[in-house]
Amino acid sequence: MRDLSKRYGPVAALRGVSFSIPKGEVVGFLGPNGAGKSTTLRILCGLMPADSGVAKVCGVSLAQDPIGARRHIGYMPENNPLPEDMKVVEYLRLRGRLKNLSGRTLRARVEEVMDLCDLRRKARRKLIGSLSKGYRQRVGIADAILANPAVAILDEPTIGLDPHQVITIRTLLSQLRGKMTTIISSHILPEIELSCDRVVIINNGRVVAVGTPAELRREFVPGRSYQMEVAGDVEKLSGILRARFAGLQVKAEEAADADGFHRLVLKSEQSANLSEALLAAAVEAKVGRVRGLFQKEPTLEDVFLAATLRNWDVAGEPHENGAR
Amino acid sequence: MRHFPTLLRHELRSLFFSSSTYVAAVLFLLLMAGIYYLILVQYSADEFPMPPSEMFFQTFWLPVLFMVPLLTMRSLAEERRMHTLETLLSAPVTTVEVILSKFFAAWIFYCLLWLCTLSFPLIASYGSGGTIAKGELFNGAVYVGGLSYVCLSGLLFIAVGILSSTLTRSQLVAGMLSFGILFILLLGPKLAGAQELGLWADWLHGPLQYLDITQHRDSFVRGILDTRPFFYYLTNSTIVLAIAALVVESKA
């Protein structure tokens, strides 16, 4: 995608969105509500045209040959709308025919995706309208990957599922890695972190961050955080650590737990791992007992908040909750 | 048009598996049977200038007004409301294929329902115990002409129903819109032609007569195959379906 723009009347939904995804990668597509995620995905699926810019799937331009481009795409829309009055196997066969599969290839591929999505035994002959949310999501994913597309686009595949179903869908998605390029749009950030190789964060119609979760952490949440559990003179220890490590921020929790241990949150701007040095310094100080030291990885949620906040600052638009 | 047969089969299956289709079919056949019965009663009481079959086709506009909206209002409005149209169009199919499959499925069902009315003269002949001559009840030429006209005009009426269904997500609104347009199309030219238009609008009489569907129907029923109605219905249904395809593309 290069410089993709789209307006809905006076509202600019996309403002020069550009990114590319290599073959076989699983990419998470993140953004707050109204950021332009669904618009980007709909343009990518050839469902709506962009006002300007270039969008290509496997080298096929969506503007010049939307039908040709759709042959390379399997799409599961948000909320996964499915016909209620069809049986699972009938629906998948119909979708297969529409995706240019026929005869033996069609039958074999339908059985294959039903196996992969665990639909064959329990749901094969059931009406879609009578299926649980988890099984419906599986039908949607089975449809998206049915014709072995080069790109599978899944809009919120795990929304509304219970933890067991989420694990099943996550396993299913991990099986797709390497077989096809997969774009997963989701609000559930831990889910994206677990399933995706790379993340694209979009906000306010612009791409604000692209990279692996580790790269994004380095860029948007630099430095490292640690958590230390200490019993004794916490104030004194905090002072010693601050003096020993330049730029170290130390925040102590006032309340101690049942065993008298306080939690210290340490933030360093250095990218080097200070765990060993911190532990040694705390022991050497002899102002209390140290029970443990953990390094705290910034979550994707921290990255997401930092990236979207920076974008709002650049765009000069007001934040909610007076964050600006 | 590679996927048209697949989509048409799917649409026909949906129509034949839907209970509302059968409700509409039963209503249609009950109404038409009632009309046919009244025609027969009248025919047996008075001297009629025309055979019952010809009289029967004179009332064809009445079921069109409710049958066509019932058959077509669901087609695209429901797909858009349920967002299944988005899923459908994400496959490599064109909007033209989608529109045409829905159109032809509804049209085939509409024609089948009218073909069912062929049983009326047979039932009447059996029920009357031979008191009415078979030739009078079952006038082949009238039936061929009448049904040909019904099928031809049905192209335009169903196209109007499909277009109405593309304009809204509500089946009810689509049905009412379709009813309104069909009412104007079916009765508008006849009613307007009957008015005193005055000298300034005398030129309108010609076009209104051309648009008057009762004129087309009478020609067909009398066995006159005029090319003008063919042109009128085929071109207009094509234009209406093209507009429907554009609406779907713009709203997808």
Give the model confidence (pLDDT) of A258-297 as tens digits.
888 888 888 887 777 888 888 888 888 887 888 888 887 7
Q: Is residue A17 within 8 Å of A36, Cβ to Cβ?
A: yes
The count of domains in chain A is 2
- How near does any CA of chain A get to the CA of B178, in Å? 25
Q: CATH no. for residue A262? A: 3.30.70.260
Same domain assignment for residues A115 and A226: no
User: Does A239 share its domain with A210?
Assistant: no
Structure confidence at residue A92 as a pLDDT band (50, 70, 90): very high
Q: Note whether B104 and B162 are within 8 A (CB).
A: no
Q: Work out how many CB contacts closer than 8 A connect A with B.
A: 54
**Residue-averaged pLDDT of chain A:** 82
Mean pLDDT for the stretch of residues B6-31: 87
More confident residue, B47 or A75: A75
- Let me know whether A215 and A227 are in one domain: no
Q: What's the rounded Cα separation, in Å, for the pair A197 and B111? A: 56
**CA–CA gap between residue B181 and residue A253 (Å, rounded):** 73
Give residue-wise pLDDT tens across range A8-19.
Answer: 888 888 888 888
Q: Are residues A268 and A119 in the same domain?
A: no
Is the confidence at residue A318, as pLDDT, over 60? no
Nearest to B161 by CA among B74, B82, B231: B74
* Structure-model confidence comparison of residues A212 and B158, the more confident one: B158
Are A203 and A266 contained in the same domain? no
Structure confidence at residue A324 (pLDDT): 31
Distances (CA, A) of B216 to A65, A111, A274, B154, B213: 43, 54, 92, 13, 5
pLDDT in the model for residue A319: 41
Q: End of a domain among A187, A219, A251?
A: A219
**Residue A307 maps to a domain:** no
Residue A43 pLDDT exceeds 90? no
pLDDT at B157 over 90: yes
Q: What is the spatial distance between Cα A249 and Cα A263, in angstroms, rounded to a whole number?
A: 14
Evaluate if residue B97 carries a pLDDT over 80. yes
Residue finishing a domain among A219, A234, A261? A219
For A93, name the nearest residue in chain B, comparing CA atoms only: B6
Give the dihedral of Cα atoms B102, B105, B109, B112; nearest 10 deg. Answer: 150
B169 to chain A, any CB pair closer than 8 A? The answer is no
B14 — contact with chain A (CB < 8 Å)? yes
A245 and A278 Cβ atoms separated by less than 8 Å: yes
Choice between B212 and A266, residue whose per-residue pLDDT is larger: A266
- What whole-number distance in Å separates Cα of residue B206 and Cα of residue B187? 16
Q: Residue B203 — pLDDT band, cuts 50, 70, 90?
A: low
Q: pLDDT category, A239, cuts 50, 70, 90?
A: confident
pLDDT at B173: 94
Bridge partner residues of A17 (DSSP): A4
B4 in contact with A, Cβ within 8 Å:
no
Q: For residue B71, is pLDDT > 70?
A: yes
Chain B interface disruption, residue of A47, A84, A93, most B CBs within 10 A: A47
- What is the number of structural domains in chain B? 1
Q: Which chain B residues have a beta carbon less than 8 Å from that of A6? A: none
Measured between beta carbons, the chain B residues lying within 8 angstroms of A97 are 3, 6
Domain end marker among A192, A219, A246: A219
- Residue A136 falls inside a structural domain: yes
Boundaries of domain holding B145: 4-251
What pLDDT is stored for residue A323 in this prediction?
A: 34
- Residue B215 CA to residue B225 CA, distance in Å, equals 12
CA distances in angstroms from B219 to B164, B228, B229, listed in the order given = 29, 11, 9
Distance from CA of A99 to the nearest CA of B (A): 6
| CA nearest neighbour of A7 among A15, B247, A38, B249 | A15
Q: Is B63 exposed, middle or buried (0-12, 13-18, 19+ CB in 10 A)?
A: buried
Residues A275 and A205 in one domain: no
Is pLDDT of B226 > 70? yes
Structure-model confidence comparison of residues A253 and A131, the more confident one: A131
pLDDT at B72 over 70: yes
| Rounded (5°) CA angle A145-A149-A151 | 95
Residue A312 confidence (pLDDT): 54
CA distance A173 to A159: 14
What CATH number is associated with residue A129? 3.40.50.300
Task: Report whether pLDDT(A162) > 80.
Answer: no
Confidence category of residue A321, pLDDT binned at 50, 70, 90: very low
Interface pTM, i.e. ipTM: 0.78
**Residue with more model confidence, B210 or A40:** A40
Which whole-number Å values give the CA distances from A204 to A49, A124, B135, in the listed order?
19, 42, 76
What is the average per-residue pLDDT within B132-158? Answer: 81
Name the helix (H) or strand (E) containing B185: helix B171-194
pLDDT computed for residue B199 by the predictor: 58
Q: Do B93 and A94 touch (CB under 8 A)?
A: no
Write down the pLDDT at residue A30.
Answer: 84
Element (H, E) at A39: helix A37-44
Q: Which domain holds residue A112?
A: 2-219
- Candidates B140, B7, B155, B11; CA nearest to B78 is B11
CB B233 within 8 A of CB B217: no
Chosen for mutation from B90, B94, B247 (greatest number of chain A CBs closer than 10 Å) is B90
A310 domain residue, yes or no? no
B90 vs A contacts (CB less than 8 Å): 45-47, 70, 73, 75, 77
Sheet holding A249-252, edge to edge: A249-252, A262-268, A224-232, A288-296
pLDDT digits (tens, 9 = 90+) for A184-218: 887 777 777 777 888 888 888 888 888 887 777 77
Work out the burial of residue A256: count CB atoms within 10 Å of its CB; fewer than 13 is exposed, 13-18 middle, 19 or more buried.
middle
Interface test with B, best of A98, A145, A146, A183 (most B CBs within 10 A): A98
pLDDT digits (tens, 9 = 90+) for A108-151: 999 988 888 878 777 778 888 888 888 888 898 889 888 888 88
Between B87 and B238, the more confident residue is B238
Quickly state the pLDDT bin for B162 (edges 50, 70, 90): very high
Q: Which candidate from B6, B18, B86 shows the least CB-CB separation from A47?
A: B86
The pLDDT, as a whole number, for residue A322 is 36
Is B83 near chain A, with CB under 8 Å? Answer: yes
Mean pLDDT (chain B) is 83
